[in-house]
A and B are shown apart, each in its own frame.
Chain A
Amino acid sequence: MRGPRTTVERLDQPSAYFLNRNKRRRSDKDRRDGDEDTNMQAEQPEEDRLKNATTLYVGNLSFYTTEEQVYELFSKCGEIKRLVMGLDRFNKTPCGFCFVEYYTHQDALDCMKYIGGTKLDERIIRTDLDPGFEEGRQYGRGKSGGQVRDEYREDYDEGRGGLGRALQQAEKLSREGRDYDDDYGRLR
């Protein structure tokens, strides 16, 4: 992207996740929450789509982190043009991610370097360059409406609704299942 390889790795590169997402060519259930399903994207060189990216995907937020908090932190890298909070597909409540759009590409790169991997609301957040927000991507793609990662999470994360939702569901069912064995079997 810029001159010879530096002797120190750069933090403003797109993540391996982004670069390999299309290589994997999985079906749509494997894409980041809210990604557009267009096949032609896979054909384009990935880095080019990020050449002038001004948007960042921000992950690992607490469900309780507000837009105001995101503004306060992310404005340190430049004025924010738009902020889109990620929402649960069904309840329309925050589900722990957002898109931050700056006015300039440089601000987005600086954000990768200086804010990605630091704390917001006492959680380490992650940032990834993004080719741009499109309607629909603000919703979680997990089965139960949130982000996919919150379906099967086995650690208890208070800021993100405790255990993974599918696990919570399974637990609930198995409790009920002691009485209704048949139903349990069917639901699986």
Chain B
Amino acid sequence: MNDGIPQSDDGWTVAGRRFRSRLVVGTGRYKDLEETARAIEASGAEMVTVAVRRVNLSDASAPMLQDYVPPDRYTYLPNTAGCHTAQDAVRTLRLAREAGGWNLVKLEVLGPPPFLYPDMAATFEAAEALIRDGFEVMVYCADDPVAAKRLEEMGCVAIMPLGAPIGSGLGVANPFMIRAIIAQAKVPVLVDAGIGTASDAALAMELGCDAVLLNSAIAHARDPVRMAVAMKHAVIAGRAAFLAGRMPRSASADPSSPVGGLIR
């Protein structure tokens, strides 16, 4: 491949774009933009999610995300956070495409609080409209293998089932369904939402995910920059463990030291 990344490198590809880091991070919920920049740098992420919102007209000189997280260094993945209808999600991403000039987007259409669980009927509707309009859609979805397959067949470029509700930090609630989605997928699968700490991210990668997407686990840690480093290593470790193949589980002991030659 001619993408500058050696073949021996364990990267992943989505919609023809290749990434070394298997960690995708959000840019929200930080104390300030300075902390955002330091945490993202420490995470090693190459792709970051961003939200689309009204410009504050009373203070047009306010610092902007782009000044701290430059889009020529990180791949911006605009999201539809806060959208509860297909129409709002499509409208938001058309504005994002105009603001940024790129087609790769994260679609999420959410059900009501308190769970903000993906609204799959609205997600299908929005995905169809976006794909018809030339977008490359990475889609947040339920941990439902049938829905995930349908989204892939519609042309979504990545399937991103939730580990647990957004911002909950509960980890991967249903690893069996995540594994089922991975087993049948021909496009990248990312666990998106629910990761709380490094072991959750490692587990997601051990299940065979291509990458993990998280935000609050870093931003709401007591020390976000340190947690960003932990997540970076967790994803690397989880991927390596997946590739290495874990040993079988056994209900009884199997000693590591030879049983012969014991002194009597």
Answer yes or no: do A and B interact.
Answer: no
